[in-house]
Amino acid sequence: MATQIEEVKGTASSYVFEVIGDSNPGEHGFSYTAVAKRKDGSGTTFRVRATGQKSQMRGDRFCAVGSFAALGDSDWARSRFFKGEVARLSLRTCYPAEQGMPNDIVQRARRFLLNRLNPDSTEDGSLIAGVLCGYTTELNRGSIREDFAACGLSHLIAVSGSHLAIVACLVQNVLWRCGLDSRKSRVLMLGACCLYTLFTGAAPSAIRSVCMVGCTNVSMGSGRRSHALSSLSLTLIVMLVIWPNLVFDLGFQLSALSVASILIFGRYVSYALHVLRLPSFIAEGMGITLTAQIATLPLTTLVFNQISLLAPVANVIIAPLISLLLVLGVVTATVLWIPGVSAFMALLLHLCSRVILFFVSALAAVPFASLYVSPLPYAWLVPLTCAVLLYWLWPRPSGRIVLVLFSLVVAFVGIDLLYWGRFAPPQITVLDVGQADSILIRDGDRCVLIDAGVDDTVLEALASEHVLSLDAVLVTHWDKDHYGGLCDIAKRYSVGEVIVAQGAAQQAPFEIEDSGLNLVEVERGDTIHVGRFDCTVMWPCETVDGDDNEDSLVLLAQYAEGSAHLSMLLTGDSEVDQEHEYAPAVGDIDILKLGHHGSAKSVDMSLLEVLDPEVAIASAGARNSYGHPADECVAALQSYGARFYCTIDDGSVSFFPDARGIRVHCSGSRGAAVE
């Protein structure tokens, strides 16, 4: 790897790049993995993560003007490095290079079919392209992927064993009708599966499937009885020997784990559901889905922070339709050269796709179709407990036991939803969202978010606080690190309205305007009620456009119930020049949220003497380039005697009003305290 890193020091224009995976759309354009090789043929090849404004398909070869950069030291950078990538490539311009010969026919066939499907024109076309060709670029741009994820259906789009089983069945039926014997049919069928795997991008899950098909064919051809678990074990060993970095590939991990669990426990779980008098086809489908979902729970909660409650039901409804879509797609692809027939088949194909999208959209809209959860450090206990229970109840569970276990699961989920949805304790939480701001105020069934962070990192923070819906999101001003995650929040949560300073609604960024969110303006003196919290607007004093730090909406949040009390000043990105103007009207407070992430101008001794806070907190990201929180800020707080917290060290920090004082809980190492 060191040799490859040395090679990266050249200029991008001296390389030819070959794309080895379809593009993923993102905020800064399209990103994809490409293999770089010098134009003169010298040196070694290496992989880079390229980003540009033009979408690329797998197999594209291009030359470019751009710049290499180190991956960095983030979690994202480490994940890319484990996948064999050694640098980032930012593209300014790129132009096609001479196409190579490997897989040329397969790539041309894929391009031809994708051009006919035109996936970027309609949603149903993008779904067909994803299911039939493994092309998911357009799927990732819209809401389809999110709806499938909410219903626990993402695996139906990914090319894997179910796709190959359908292709193999179609090919084998045709070969048998042609009169070929079983041995020749198996060989040709395996060849067709290999071609389809290459055609769809040779994803690890597809390679795993085709290798297992090969093992089964070899067993049957040699007169031996096939054993799926042995085939899986051999396949995984061989794949990891050839491609060791697959051990870090999430798709490979999920595929291996789900298939192994289905082979070991799938039929038993299906039988347990059959005991509840469910029809056989429903018990079979739900059993397989439940088995895979429980087995992969430690991975999915860690990566996606999402658990689909509708997955078992949704899979029973949608899986047969996806299978039908694939069958229609294969048939349509084979008759494209017959004008009348191909047009009729294309009509059926798009009709089936639209039906699927309709049902998926309807299922995703069901309340609590999925739960957003924080990464569960002990999530592995869930599949382990289920495995122990299965062993203990083996071989014949009674309907009563299955019903009791199912009722316990429903009760556990229901109690959790009821508690956090209706009876959440009063609290203000400064969320750990990196170099950005996001503060949660909640009490009972009321929940308001102050600022939305810079990106979808805020979703994980909200999940860790068991947030189910938001009555409102207040955006202090239009800096990206305060509103950047708002559209992501709106996609996952019910958001009542977006509150901004008077005049700021007219200057909302275009993505906020296009989102359809309801913007409401407030002015100084207005009060926002969040349960028993009263949040009074202290700044700005006049109409603003919301573009600058001094335009920040400032709130004084106060709670008083019996002997429990709490007052906290939420300053946005305002600094001492503005703070000195509104501080006299604020008076004595318990907690100061430092302005502008704890910058050097966020606080001074005269301001502290007016506000007299016992606690101060800054929201900042580790190793940020601004040096936040500034040494001057921390020194002033220490000199004054205020207790200082920062999300860099303490993670998300929650403040609870209590009769004994203010109870503080940190998700980081500091833990709990009473101020």
Domain match, 500 and 620 both: yes
In a domain, 472, yes or no: yes
| pLDDT for position 271 | 81
Based on the structure, what is the number of domains in the chain?
3
In a domain, 100, yes or no: yes
What's the pLDDT band for 538 if we cut at 50, 70, 90?
very high
| pLDDT for position 586 | 94
Token duo for residue 630: 């500034």
| pLDDT for position 4 | 44
Domain match, 459 and 394 both: no
- Segment 91-98 mean pLDDT: 83
- Segment 448-469 mean pLDDT: 90
Domain match, 9 and 76 both: yes
> Inter-axis angle of helices 311-334 and 339-364, to 10 degrees?
170
Nearest to 439 by CA among 450, 453, 424: 450
| pLDDT for position 150 | 85
In a domain, 168, yes or no: no
| pLDDT for position 370 | 80
Asked if 595 and 618 touch (Cβ cutoff 8 Å), the reply is no
| Region of poorest pLDDT, from 266-275, 327-336, 486-495 | 266-275
Task: Report the CATH number that the domain containing residue 660 is assigned in CATH.
Answer: 3.60.15.10
Domain termination site, one of 48, 82, 105: 105
Domain match, 394 and 517 both: no
Query: Quick check: 67 pLDDT over 70?
Result: yes
Outline where DSSP puts E strands in 476-522. 495-501, 519-522
| pLDDT for position 364 | 87
Exposed, middle or buried: residue 610 (CB in 10 Å: 0-12, 13-18, 19+)?
middle
| pLDDT for position 336 | 83
| Region of poorest pLDDT, from 210-214, 270-274, 315-319 | 270-274
CA distances 290 to 209, 308, 603, Å, are 20, 11, 54
pLDDT tens-digit series, residues 163-219? 888 888 888 888 888 877 777 888 888 888 899 888 888 888 889 988 988 888 888
Query: Quick check: 463 pLDDT over 80?
Result: yes
Query: Quick check: 675 pLDDT over 70?
Result: no
> Inter-axis angle of helices 280-295 and 267-275, to 10 degrees?
130
| pLDDT for position 628 | 92
Query: Quick check: 239 pLDDT over 80?
Result: yes
What's the pLDDT band for 102 if we cut at 50, 70, 90?
very low
In the chain, the largest separation of any two C-alpha atoms, in whole Å, equals: 93
pLDDT tens-digit series, residues 564-616? 999 999 999 999 999 999 999 999 999 999 999 999 999 999 999 999 999 99
Domain termination site, one of 51, 76, 105: 105
Domain match, 527 and 400 both: no
Query: Quick check: 228 pLDDT over 60?
Result: yes
Q: Tell me the H-state helices in 222-338.
A: 228-242, 250-261, 267-275, 280-295, 297-304, 311-334
Handedness of CA 43, 46, 51, 52 (dihedral sign): positive
Handedness of CA 155, 161, 163, 165 (dihedral sign): negative
| pLDDT for position 599 | 93
What's the pLDDT band for 83 if we cut at 50, 70, 90?
confident
- Higher pLDDT among residues 40 and 260, named by residue: 260
Domain match, 476 and 395 both: no
- The string of DSSP letters for 115-146 reads HHH-TTT-HHHHHHHHHHH---HHHHHSSHHH
In a domain, 169, yes or no: no
Task: Report the CATH number that the domain containing residue 30 is assigned in CATH.
Answer: 2.40.50
Domain match, 7 and 49 both: yes
Asked if 132 and 330 touch (Cβ cutoff 8 Å), the reply is yes
> Which range among 49-58, 72-81, 534-543 has the greatest average pLDDT?
534-543
Exposed, middle or buried: residue 532 (CB in 10 Å: 0-12, 13-18, 19+)?
middle
Domain match, 395 and 460 both: no
- Segment 205-234 mean pLDDT: 86
Outline where DSSP puts E strands in 398-494. 424-430, 439-444, 446-450, 470-474
In a domain, 433, yes or no: yes
Share of the chain above pLDDT 70, in %: 92
pLDDT tens-digit series, residues 364-405? 888 778 877 766 555 556 666 766 776 676 666 667 777 777
- Rounded Cα gap, residues 79 and 247, in angstroms: 11
Domain match, 656 and 622 both: yes
| pLDDT for position 635 | 94
Supply the mean pLDDT for the chain.
86
pLDDT tens-digit series, residues 626-656? 899 999 999 999 999 999 999 998 999 999 9
In a domain, 111, yes or no: no
DSSP-derived 3-state class of residue 228: helix
> Which range among 77-81, 154-158, 525-529 has the greatest average pLDDT?
525-529
Query: Quick check: 302 pLDDT over 80?
Result: no
Domain match, 551 and 608 both: yes
Token duo for residue 5: 């890193």
**Through-space distance between the first and last CA atoms of the chain, rounded to whole angstroms:** 51
| Region of poorest pLDDT, from 296-305, 333-342, 345-354 | 296-305
Token duo for residue 437: 């701001």
- Rounded Cα gap, residues 83 and 79, in angstroms: 7
In a domain, 224, yes or no: no
Query: Quick check: 30 pLDDT over 70?
Result: yes
Query: Quick check: 292 pLDDT over 90?
Result: no
What's the pLDDT band for 8 if we cut at 50, 70, 90?
low
| pLDDT for position 2 | 42
Domain match, 509 and 399 both: no
| Region of poorest pLDDT, from 43-47, 460-464, 607-611 | 43-47
Domain match, 401 and 473 both: no
CA distances 162 to 154, 196, 217, 289, 451, Å, are 13, 13, 17, 13, 43
What's the pLDDT band for 1 if we cut at 50, 70, 90?
very low
Pairing state of beta strands 46-52 and 85-96? parallel
pLDDT tens-digit series, residues 158-178? 888 788 888 888 888 888 888
**Which residue range(s) make up the domain with 91?**
2-105
**Model pTM score:** 0.72
